[in-house]
Chain A
Amino acid sequence: MSAVTLIAHTEVGAGGAANITFSSIPAVHSDLWLVVSSRSTTASFAVLLGIQMNTDTATTNYSRTVLLAQSSGTVSSSRYAGGSFNYVGINSSAGSTSTTSTFASANVYITNYANSTAFKQVIGDIVNENNSTADYTMSLNAGLWAQTAAITQLVMFPASGNFAQYSSATLYGIKKA
């Protein structure tokens, strides 16, 4: 049996979409792997990509740490404790002022997502290309969902605006031996 299983895939159609949701995620895998190609309708070259677990919108349950390169070569690292955002953020999706036809590219891993005894850790890398030496972002992100419940739903959205047409997300399950 293959170790990598396709769970679901969504591509945003004409008119865009407020979010991409994967629900009824089966508990049969070990880890989840999200592959995302995203562009927001917001007038910016960089829009934070948010991921919520299950139906939890409580800011106290989400925190993250990020290593970020942006803005003409600036490198920085930041951390956001619980209470800041009601999602795990990934820096960042492309926006409507990014180079035309250009979408950010991300890998997001959630290991041990179906266990019911530990908090859930999210790691993600994302590059937000732009035909510019000034306006771009790329980052490594670690996020915590401080809940022991198994993850059965993932909701992704740009922190402002909607997903533009042709944004896509693919969810895979990874099984251990």
Chain B
Amino acid sequence: MTMMILCLICPVSRGNAESETLKGNPASKKVEQSMSACIAEASRLKLPIATLQARLQEALVKKVSDEKIVTALEHHLQALIAAQKILEKAAGRNRESRTTEILTALARAIESGLPPEIFEELFKDQRGVFSYRMQALIEAGEMLYLGGISQESVKIFMLECKNRDMPRKATIRAASFWMQRHQEGLDTDEILRRLWGGEVSRP
């Protein structure tokens, strides 16, 4: 069972999996069972398991308790499921090659505390077309939320970037600008005015 977990963590370098991962970080039976269950469920739902593997790897390196590892894995799985529901609702069965990256970014944002409803509204007229810019949008929204920006302001920001079809760099730069102005004490309206001249379409 331990070797199976190790193989799941390091699918490429299986020969060195034991030396790299078990180096002072053995996984208990409880963690192995939880990881197996999460992977089985993720596979059944056709969810990416790479982030589950990364989560486990992070936990093992940081030498956290088994209970925390199990909780983190299950929490991450639930975030992936919630993200998948949002994308399926927006895209139907029409999946594109970028969906895995979008789904992973969306799961992370939900795990960080952003409510799924924000993204449901963001994606409602996508018709199954998700671009690399949408991934940047989600990550920028998460960045703002983690920086202390309100959910409402995050929603306004993401909708505005989406409507303007902003490329990744511009989206990240705009998010950084918002963060810095927020730290200076400016309110949302003033930040919007400075960013886009106040010409925004509020939801």
Q: Please determine whether chains A and B interact with each other in the same assembly.
A: no
